[in-house]
Chain A
């Protein structure tokens, strides 16, 4: 039960952090883009730096959103076969899906690290921001999705115990 409670606490913490990040990044991208539009249409001149910054933040917003969706179980699955199975098999299928998610996330994090070592030195054209941060966002996002899947496995295993 302790493991399940700890898993639940960790899931909640990740969910809250990602919701806060998504809100902050969403507001920042909105404000910067509005400024860019004002620059282009009202002042009749583009603001390149203001245009590039939302592009850099968008990747982080996407990854925060993906983790948030994973936390709320919003990622869509085709469940009609699982729903026809009995409760025991449904539970096992759920555990299998979480195991596969852990494998997937570990693979993505590992391959991102390898790609980052090759292509991480690139920089954005205007502000010169290292594009390595996109690799970091991708690895962190999938890493957190993997942790959420591990938490779900821990809760599932605790439920199985007599």
Chain B
């Protein structure tokens, strides 16, 4: 059944059938080849995901991010980011990186960050004389910092397949996220000096005041991590409280709350939730087939027998994830690879929190790797440039991310618990 599942899915994906639909159709085809009566597994698996209540954290984290980024809070975060680095050579490029990091504290989706940041930063950078391919490459790579800084939707999905604490994963993502930010800042500075990119004018608002205005938004990731870390609330509760916080701050501090904005944010959050939830639901039948045929057990036994060494197995896992991430979006890749890699990681003594951060960092690279890269696609559309033209500008960011991935894979201390 698994072979039919894989082949059918490959054909359907190539025919541009939506990923979740491909997974369900391939699962149905695989079940029909072996035991047609088992087709009833499909609605049972779909229903199981619908009834997994901890997933309610996903729409509410998305909603909190949408509420914060669509109002004045987003503008203040941007002003703060450009205030920190905006005056240096290449400062406007570095502002994108800082903004992606601070936006990461309120949004849990790289694609949302790429759209929100790109819509403001790319036209601004273009006006200042930055080349369009560089702007697109920078925006698509910087946006991936977002999913390592809590809250993070991919880390919640990984928690779902691995049974690891969401709080531990959020905490572990912070250091790699900040390392990615520092590395990208250094790369922007170096590239700006080499290529003669302009100095920015900086923010019109003094840095201290910009920090003060942005502080309610900057406090949110701290609030999330601290409350989860000390077990004061559950992940679903903190997601709801994040929305309440966004509403209170928008209404009382920034005074830009309106029913129209709340409704638009709710519809946007529901649409994104629909995409993610259908993929989660569709992964159920495929996962059932793989469990039924003990694929994860067979794969673990095979990997241990053939590769033997821990470092080699970690390398192989990374290579598989890089290959899959190039063609598949992040949520389905986590949901399909997670159940296979988690038992293997346990067998070789690799910490599951470390595997989670490694997986998200690895698959995030796929978000800006052609031919299928969601943040790259969004950024290219905003910068009005072809994907192929960005490759030269993507290479430095790609190499740095690979270096950091190697460190996260082999240095457990980088994923704090």
Contact = CB atoms under 8 A, between A and B. Distances in A.
* Size class of the contact patch on chain B: 35 or more
A44 interface: no
Given A76-B275, A94-B16, A101-B21, A37 B266 contact: no
Contacts of A67: 274
Nearest to A112: B43
Interface stretch (B125-133, B173-181, B240-248, B249-257): B240-248
A19 B15 contact: no
B57 to A, nearest CB: 10
A66 interface: yes
Contacts of A29: 56
A43 interface: no
Contacts of A79: 16, 372
B18 A26 contact: no
A23 B43 contact: no
A137 B50 contact: yes
B44 A75 contact: no
Interface in B212-271: 233, 236-237, 240-241, 243-244, 263, 266-267, 269-271
B65 to A, nearest CB: 14
A114 interface: yes
B195 to A, nearest CB: 29
A93 B55 CA distance: 33
A81 B14 contact: yes
* Size class of the contact patch on chain A: 35 or more
B236 to A, nearest CB: 7
Interface in B335-372: 370-372
Interface in A43-71: 54-55, 58-59, 61-70
Which secondary structure characterizes the binding site on chain B? helix
Contacts of A74: 271-272, 274-275
B43 A100 contact: no
Contacts of B46: 108, 138
Contacts of B21: 75, 97, 100-101, 104
A97 B18 CA distance: 8
A26 B63 contact: yes
B90 interface: no
A101 B20 CA distance: 10
Interface in A27-51: 27, 29-30, 33-34, 37, 41
B17 A97 contact: yes
A78 B237 contact: no
Contacts of A23: 263, 266-267, 270
Contacts of B35: none
Interface string B261-296: 001001101111111011101000000000000000
A114 B40 contact: yes
Contact of B15 (A33, A97, A104, A137): A97
A77 interface: yes
A150 to B, nearest CB: 15
B19 A78 contact: yes
A30 B14 CA distance: 39
A96 B15 contact: yes
Given A65-B59, A111-B40, 15 more contacts: A22-B270, A26-B270, A37-B237, A62-B50, A75-B275, A93-B15, A93-B16, A97-B15, A100-B12, A100-B17, A100-B21, A101-B21, A107-B28, A111-B39, A135-B43
29 contacts: A19-B270, A22-B266, A23-B266, A30-B244, A33-B236, A41-B233, A54-B56, A58-B51, A62-B281, A65-B273, A65-B277, A68-B270, A68-B271, A72-B271, A74-B272, A76-B18, A76-B20, A76-B329, A93-B15, A93-B16, A94-B16, A97-B16, A107-B42, A108-B42, A111-B42, A112-B43, A115-B44, A137-B50, A138-B43
The 10 A-B pairs of least Cβ separation, nearest first, read A69-B274, A65-B274, A22-B270, A80-B371, A82-B16, A75-B18, A65-B270, A59-B50, A66-B274, A112-B43
